[in-house]
Amino acid sequence: MSAGPRKPPDEATPEIGPSLRALRKQRGLSLQQVALATGISKSFLSLVENGTNDITFGRLHRLLTLYGVDLADLLPTREPTDDIVVRGTARRHLYSPAPGMDVFMASPDTRRNLLAGIAVLAPGAWMTEDSTHDGEEWVHVVRGTAELVLDDGETTVELLAGDSAYLRAGRRHRLGNPSAHEAEVITVLAQG
């Protein structure tokens, strides 16, 4: 049994897709206009908005930038909490970038210079596409094994529990769990 963070049973996973659709419509944009502005295909955007496909952080960041909103604007509002401490039992589920992969917010909110998250990767779970974004990223494996594929597959790095990796802005990367055991990974993005 896993000791990793889990969604509280009474809390539904936020529906990012419908929220993205609402933002697009509020701004009077068509799927085609958003596709042209972000470089994300119209068909993929439609799948995400309908909740039938997950989205990587890099693509999500492009959409948030276009809409002029923050990630917190997509999450259900909650009663104000401590602006310093995030209790393990109070972590908010952000999204699932791939089947078997869940990302939980480890920062009090997303309006800070650093955005920390806890990713739980089921055995064999992989991000479905490479991610790239502004800002730098630090990755640390808390338990299990993770594999980091860099630069369109040119480099693959195995990370064991206790290992860390540091990525510069714009470097293409994909994270996965090649093992038969669940992995837990901390990611910290310096937004920039």
**Claim to verify: residue 147 and residue 181 sit in the same structural domain:** yes
CB atoms closer than 10 angstroms to residue 41: 11
**Claim to verify: residue 172 and residue 103 sit in the same structural domain:** yes
The pLDDT of residue 8: 38
Low-confidence ranges of the chain (pLDDT < 50): 1-13, 80
What DSSP element (H or E) covers 192?
none
**Claim to verify: residue 107 and residue 66 sit in the same structural domain:** no
Q: Is residue 59 part of a domain?
A: yes
Structural domains counted in the chain: 2
Q: Is residue 9 part of a domain?
A: no
How crowded is the C-beta side of 135, counted as CA atoms within 13 Å?
19
- Residue 165: what are its φ and ψ, rounded to 5°? -140, 150
The pLDDT of residue 12: 37
**Claim to verify: residue 67 and residue 95 sit in the same structural domain:** no
The pLDDT of residue 109: 76
The pLDDT of residue 1: 38
**Claim to verify: residue 117 and residue 185 sit in the same structural domain:** yes
Mean of the per-residue pLDDT values of the chain:
83
pLDDT tens, position by position, 160-190: 999 999 998 789 899 999 999 999 999 998 8
**Claim to verify: residue 68 and residue 96 sit in the same structural domain:** no
Tell which residue, 61, 45, 62, 64, has the closest CA to residue 53. 45
Domain carrying residue 182: 88-190
The pLDDT of residue 185: 97
